[in-house]
Structure 1
Amino acid sequence: MDLIKSLFISASGLRAQNGRMRIIAENIANANSTAKTPEELPYRRKIPTFKSHFDREMGADMVELGKIAEDNTDFRSVHMPGHPAADANGYVLQPNVNTLIETTDMREAQRSYEANLNVIDSTRRMLQRTIDILRA
C-alpha cells in the first residue's frame, strides 16, 4: 500500500525535524554561555545533518538525523575585564551562536515538520475515505 508507505516516510521526516529542533534549541539555550576560565573554550554551535537510507521492508528512502557536526567558525570576543574567563587583555570568548540564524533555522524546521504532519493528515483522510467507500 502506497498510502501506508507515505505515512512511514512522513514519520521519518517528523523524527528528523524533531531532532533538528532539539539541536537548534540547545544552540539557542547556550548562546550566552561562557567558559569558566580563560583556558577553556565556550559552547560551540552544533549543526544537524541528515542522511537517507533505503528501507527494504518499506521499499522507500527514509530520512534520519545524521551526525551532529560542530561549527568551526571563530568565537566572538567581548571586552569584559571582571569576568572569570577574561584573558590578560580583559576579553572573554563567546559562543559562535548567532540567535538570528538559529531562529531562522528553527522556523524552517517547524515548517518542514508541519509539512510532514499535513502529509500524514491527508493520507489518513484518504485512507478513511477508502474505508468508507468499501463499507458502502
Structure 2
Amino acid sequence: MSMFQIFSISGSAVSAQSQRLNTVASNLANADTVAGPDGKAYKARQVVFQTLPLGNAAQDDGAAGVKVTQVTEDATPGRRVHAPAHPQADAEGYVTYSNVNAVQEMVDMISASRSYQNNVEVMNTAKTLLLKTLQMGL
C-alpha cells in the first residue's frame, strides 16, 4: 500500500462520517415533530456503511476505504400522546410524534464526530511523515 492510498482511505471515511453527522442532525431536528396531514410522522434515519478492502477486483476504481451504501428508516412506531385538543390529533385524540430517540442520536453524533476527527488525524500524520521523508532526502 502506498502512502498516498492512506489519504484515499481516510478521505472516504471522513466523507462517510460527514454523511452520518448530517443524518443525525436531521434526526435531531425532527425529534419532536408530529404526524402531518397524511398521518405519518418523521422516521429516524440511519446510515449503513460498507468497507472496501484493498485489492477488491469488483471495484471500478480500485479504491479502498468506506462508503455509504444506503440510508434506512427506523421501523419503530412513533410515540403516541393523548392530546385531544391538539390540532394534529387523530379521531381517538392521539398525536403521533416521530420515533427519534434524542439520547441515542447524541451518542451517534459523538461517535461519528470522534471517527471523523480520528480520520483527519490519520491524514495529518501521513502528511507529516511524507514531509519528513522528503526532508531526509535533502
Matched residue type, 2:39: E
Query: Which structure 2 residues correspond to residues 1-40 of structure 1 after superposition, within 5 A?
Result: 2-37=2-37, 39-40=38-39
CA contact (8 A) 2:8 2:64 kept: no
CA contact (8 A) 2:81 2:95 kept: yes
Which SS does the other structure have where 1:127 is aligned?
helix
Change (3 A) 1:35 1:100: same
The aligned residue for residue 126 of structure 2 is 123
The aligned residue for residue 47 of structure 1 is 46
- Which string of whole-angstrom CA distances, capped at 9 and with x for unpartnered residues, describes residues 4-42 of structure 1? 1111100000000000000010000000111233x5111
CA contact (8 A) 1:44 1:70 kept: yes
**2-structure distance, mates of 1:9, 1:49:** 17
Change (3 A) 1:36 1:83: farther
TM-score normalised according to structure 1 size: 0.90
Change (3 A) 1:74 1:36: closer
CA contact (8 A) 1:36 1:84 kept: no
Greater shift in the superposed pair: 121-130 or 1-10: 1-10
CA contact (8 A) 2:14 2:119 kept: yes
- Percent identity of paired positions between Structure 1 and Structure 2: 35
| Residue segments in structure 2 that go unaligned for 5+ positions in a row | none
The aligned residue for residue 93 of structure 1 is 96
- Which string of whole-angstrom CA distances, capped at 9 and with x for unpartnered residues, describes residues 65-110 of structure 1? 1211110011111122121221223210010000000000000000
Which of 93, 106, 111 in structure 1 is aligned with 2:109? Answer: 106
Which SS does the other structure have where 1:50 is aligned?
strand
Query: Post-superposition, which runs of at least 4 consecutive aligned residues in structure 1 deviate over 3 A?
Result: 53-57
**Bigger fraction of residues in strand:** 1
Which SS does the other structure have where 1:120 is aligned?
helix
Change (3 A) 1:36 1:56: closer
